[in-house]
């Protein structure tokens, strides 16, 4: 009787967990095919967005869950960037899972010594409040929060400004950046950009 109970518990757990983990995993091979259209921008080192001009974000090393959340944000409009909205508009949930699995599967973040000299110095004290979620050196400790280490400086400045302007409507980040001055944003972006971490995913890798 006890054994039967145990067995049915295990079966119940398996049926509960299996489909969920199956969906979350995504298919990186299908993702690679879908990613063809993304590489014209994200696969070229230092590629610039036309207007306003700033470098297209590095995706390599971002947590899989965060990549999904970002794409869902462009699809549902909580992120306003026109080009990315157009890219994400027709993606299905499955497409998003597969794309995230592909990009996240291109390698772990390449973390290094904390860089605090030069331009990064001014930002170091200002990021103390950000560390809980983005990590003391910009490497995120959680799957649904972005890493910032090694991201392009001008993209970091632009994305923080978007949370301030309301072009991105994430309730967590809006509260975090509301009091930052332009100088704060410059210093913080310089600090994170100086850390080693994120990288450009390209077919040549």
Torsion of CA 30, 107, 124, 173, to 10 degrees: 20
Q: Which is nearer to ligand HEC, 11 or 89 (CB)?
A: 89
Among positions 26, 60, 61, 79, the unique one binding ligand HEC when judged by CB under 6 A? 79
Q: Which is nearer to ligand HEC, 38 or 101 (CB)?
A: 38
Of 4, 203, 200, the C-alpha closest to 109 is: 200
> Per CB under 6 A, does 81 bind ligand HEC?
yes
Of 97, 31, 98, 105, the C-alpha closest to 69 is: 97
> Do residues 86 and 114 touch, judged by C-beta distance below 8 A?
no
The CA distance from 159 to 137, in Å, is 18
Q: Which is nearer to ligand HEC, 81 or 119 (CB)?
A: 81
Q: How far is the CB of 43 from ligand HEC (least distance, A)?
A: 9
> Per CB under 6 A, does 152 bind ligand HEC?
no
The CA distance from 204 to 202, in Å, is 5
Q: Which is nearer to ligand HEC, 101 or 160 (CB)?
A: 160
* Sign of the Cα pseudo-torsion (73, 77, 81, 86, in order): positive
Of 38, 51, 10, 11, the C-alpha closest to 200 is: 38
Site string for ligand HEC, 88-127 (x = CB under 6 A): -----------x----------------------------
> Per CB under 6 A, does 168 bind ligand HEC?
yes
> Per CB under 6 A, does 14 bind ligand HEC?
no
> Per CB under 6 A, does 159 bind ligand HEC?
yes
Other Cβ atoms less than 10 A from the Cβ of 45: the count is: 11
> Do residues 24 and 101 touch, judged by C-beta distance below 8 A?
no
Q: Contact residues for ligand HEC (CB under 6 A)?
A: 37-38, 40-42, 49, 56-57, 59, 67, 69-71, 73, 79, 81, 83-84, 87, 99, 129-130, 132-134, 145-146, 148, 156, 158-160, 168, 170, 172-173, 176-177, 188
């Amino acid at each position: 009787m006890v054994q039967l109970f145990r067995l049915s518990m295990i079966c119940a757990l398996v049926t509960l967990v299996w489909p969920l983990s199956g969906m979350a995993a995504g298919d990186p091979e299908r993702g690679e095919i879908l990613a063809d259209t993304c590489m014209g921008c994200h696969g070229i080192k230092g590629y610039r967005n036309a207007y306003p001009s700033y470098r297209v974000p590095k995706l390599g090393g971002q947590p899989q869950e965060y990549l999904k959340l970002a794409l869902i944000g462009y699809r549902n409009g909580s992120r306003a960037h026109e080009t990315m909205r157009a890219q994400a508009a027709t993606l299905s949930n499955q497409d998003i899972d597969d794309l995230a699995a592909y990009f996240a599967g291109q390698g772990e973040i390449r973390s290094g010594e904390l860089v605090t000299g030069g331009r990064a110095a001014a930002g170091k004290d200002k990021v103390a409040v950000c560390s809980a979620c983005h990590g003391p050196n910009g490497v995120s400790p959680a799957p649904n929060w972005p890493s910032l280490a090694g991201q392009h400086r001008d993209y970091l400045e632009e994305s923080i400004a978007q949370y301030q302007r309301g072009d991105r409507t994430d309730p967590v980040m809006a509260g975090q950046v509301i009091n930052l001055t332009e100088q704060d944003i410059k210093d913080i972006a310089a600090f994170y950009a100086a850390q080693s971490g994120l990288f450009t995913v390209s077919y040549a890798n």
